[in-house]
Amino acid sequence: MKKGIMALSGMIVTLTFIIIAFFGPWYNMDVESSIPGTEMAYSVGMYLTKMEMKGTIMTKDISMSISYADAKDQAQTAGINTDSFKIIDYVNYLMIGMIITAILALAGMSGYVFNFGKANTMKMIGFTFGFITFILAMIAPIYFMNNSFTQGNYGFWFSQTIVGIKMSAGPGFAWYLMIVAAIIAFISSVAMLLKNSNPEIVLQSLQ
């Protein structure tokens, strides 16, 4: 497969993963207790735009989805460190920036592959914004994990039992997906940089 097409395909996958991660859970926390009078079993999912809580507390079923602006009281009850909401806001902005840079990288790579505009200009646009996307995609999960999302500062990954109450927490699939997106963005941008053939040759190979 031609490097230009590989780079373009990789950046399409990268943008898709970024969008999926934007709406997916970045952090999950599970709490269980079988102590009489405090029976509970619930899960908290932390997204970039909302917090979800599902399970049972004192035999009552709970299911809620709430924005972080309105979640402080519920979050403290669930054992969430509300100071972490600022981290989530910053990552939210990084994700929006990533979507923009990935789209610009796609524009440059598409222009190069399909011979729109000057080849060298399109190539450098594709590489530059693709590499910026890679950097942002690496910063987001690293910055996100440099924080304690639970009261008590147990760390990013943990499993703890205190007086019969078991708590465990760790990253959601969106956090892992961002690492994969960063790797693909890096490969795509480097492939674009190493592309030396005339874009017209790529077009001919598609015909």
pLDDT tens digits, 3-59? 788 889 999 999 999 999 999 999 988 888 877 766 778 888 889 888 888 888 777
Range of weakest confidence among 6-10, 81-85, 118-122: 81-85
At residue 109, the 3 state secondary structure works out as: helix
Proportion of the chain above pLDDT 90, given as a percent:
39
Tokens representing 141?
A: 């999960």
The Cα–Cα gap between 91 and 93 comes to 5
Measure the CA–CA gap between 141 and 98, rounded to whole angstroms.
Answer: 13
Q: Could you tell me whether strands 158-162 and 51-57 are parallel, antiparallel, or unpaired per DSSP bridges?
A: unpaired
Give residue-wise pLDDT tens across range 62-81: 787 887 777 666 665 556 67
- Is a pLDDT exceeding 90 seen at residue 132? yes
Count of beta carbons in the 10 Å neighbourhood of residue 181: 29
CB 33 within 8 A of CB 40: yes
Tally of structural domains, the chain? 1
pLDDT at 73: 62
pLDDT for residue 78: 57
pLDDT tier at 201, thresholds 50, 70, 90: very low
Q: Are 182 and 94 in contact (CB under 8 A)?
A: no
Q: What is the pLDDT of residue 207?
A: 47
Report yes or no: 177 and 20 within 8 Å, Cβ to Cβ.
yes
Question: What's the rounded Cα separation, in Å, for the pair 133 and 121?
Answer: 18
CA 94 to chain centre: 10
Per cent of the chain over pLDDT 70 is 83
So what's the pLDDT on residue 64?
A: 78
Q: Mean of the pLDDT values across residues 171-194? A: 94
Q: Which of 176, 138, 165, 132 shows the shortest CA–CA distance to 30?
A: 165
Reply yes or no on whether the pLDDT at 94 is more than 90: yes
Residue 204 has pLDDT above 60, yes or no: no
Per the model's pLDDT, the better-predicted residue between 21 and 167 turns out to be 21
**Alpha-carbon distance 170 to 158, whole Å?**
7
DSSP character at residue 197 = S
CATH number of the structural domain spanning residue 20: 1.20.140.150
Q: What does the pLDDT read at residue 74?
A: 62
- Which class for 106: exposed (0-12), middle (13-18), buried (19 or more C-beta within 10 A)? buried
Its domain, for residue 136, covers 3-206
In this prediction, residue 109 carries a pLDDT of 92
